Structure formats: structure tokens, C-alpha cells
Amino acid sequence: MFVDYYEVLQISPNADVETIRRVYRMQAQRFHPDNLDSGNAEAFRKISAAYEVLNDPQRRAAYDRDHREARRRAAIGVPEPPPSGPPVMDEMQRREKILSLLYSRRFSHPQQPSLNLRELEALLSTPRSDLEFSLWYLKECGYLVRTDSAHHTITLKGVQFAEGLKTGSARWLDGVQG
């Protein structure tokens, strides 16, 4: 479902980068979960997601195309199409990239072997919404674990699977079966 990030931040689609930054900081302070008076974790997540997209020129340009299309559809009363998943091969490649990143991180930084969602988004140049299904799948297969602080770490089973990818002996269905 399309989320109007301009509405979330309560700004105009014509707002400049400095306005976006200023409004985000103000709302982030207000809704930060540590704020005892007005903290709201869900609102904070929404404004953070909006800021991440609208503050990046490339992501904002792509979002603006979707935003214009959503407004056009709403104006003429056309309902949003149901969300469709990515092509299966794209999803499988995304999972392989995630495991490869976590494998490399485990190998190169054994004291801090995890990556958070924001780091994965940046390293993969993939929005959070596209990563959530992949991370859920990898977690359910036992290939990674997620801490309460949203850090992802590859498991022993994940290492074995990632090594199988490099040798060509890994199969995605294996994770489902066992």
C-alpha cells in the first residue's frame, strides 16, 4: 500500500531538502520513543522511513513518480492495485546478497558480526520494504537471527548455506524442508 511520505512529515511535495531536514528533526524529537511526554515508536518509524526516502535525491525522484501516480489514481477514483511480490529470481538473489554480506561481516568483524536494517538497506541499495520479506524468510529458515535491537547476524546454518552458494551446492528449498 502506498504511503504518502509528504503527508507523514506534513510537508509540501515542493519542500526543499533543508525544510525536509528541519521538519524531520522536529518530529523525530517529538515522537522519539525515549520522549516520555509524546514518544510514539510507530510514528517515529514512519517519519524516519519518510525522511530516508525524501532526503536521498535518487530515492526521492523515484518516490515522486510513484507519488504523482498515486495522486492521479486517487483523483479519478481508481483503486490501488494489489501489491505484487518481486520476481522469484530477484528475491532469491536478494537473499543470497544478504547472506553474503552477513557472511563477510562475520568473517571480517567477529567481535561485531551483525548488520542493522539501515546498513543492509545502504549496502544493497534496497528499500526496507523490499528487505523485510527476505529477512523474514532467512530468519524462518534459521540462516540468520535478529536481535531486539534489529541487528541481523548469520547463523552456523547460514554460513554453511552461504558456502554452498559459492560452490553451487546450496538450494533454497533445502531451507524450507529442514
pLDDT at 162: 86
Residue 91 has, within 13 A of its CA and on its CB side, a CA count of 15
* 76, 109, 125 - which closes a domain: 76
81 in any annotated domain: no
**The pLDDT of residue 165:** 78
116 forms beta bridges with 151
pTM of the model: 0.50
Q: What is the CATH number of the domain that holds 168?
A: 1.10.10.10
What's the CA gap between 47 and 24, in Å, rounded? Answer: 7
Q: Is residue 159 part of a domain?
A: yes
Q: What is the CATH number of the domain that holds 68?
A: 1.10.287.110
| Cβ(124)–Cβ(104) below 8 Å | no
- Torsion sign (Cα): 15, 17, 21, 22: negative
Residues 72 and 104 in one domain: no
- Give the range of the structural domain holding residue 167, as residue numbers without chain letter: 88-177
Report the distance separating Cα 59 and Cα 151, nearest Å: 24
pLDDT attached to residue 170: 67
Q: Kindly give the confidence (pLDDT) of every residue in the chain, 178 residues in length, as a single tens digit, with 9 standing for 90 and above.
A: 778 999 999 999 999 999 999 999 999 999 998 888 888 888 999 999 999 999 999 999 999 999 998 888 888 876 666 555 556 678 888 988 999 999 999 989 989 889 988 888 888 888 887 888 888 999 999 999 988 777 999 999 989 888 887 777 666 554 444 4
- Helix H, strand E, coil C: the string for the chain is CCCCHHHHHCCCCCCCHHHHHHHHHHHHHHHCCCCCCCCCHHHHHHHHHHHHHHCCHHHHHHHHHHHHHHHHHHHHCCCCCCCCCCCHHHHHHHHHHHHHHHHHHHHHCCCCCCEEHHHHHHHHCCCHHHHHHHHHHHHHCCCEEECCCCEEEECHHHHHHHHHHHHCCCCHHHHHHC
Number of compact structural domains in the chain: 2
52 Cβ partners below 8 Å, 6+ apart? 59, 118, 121, 128
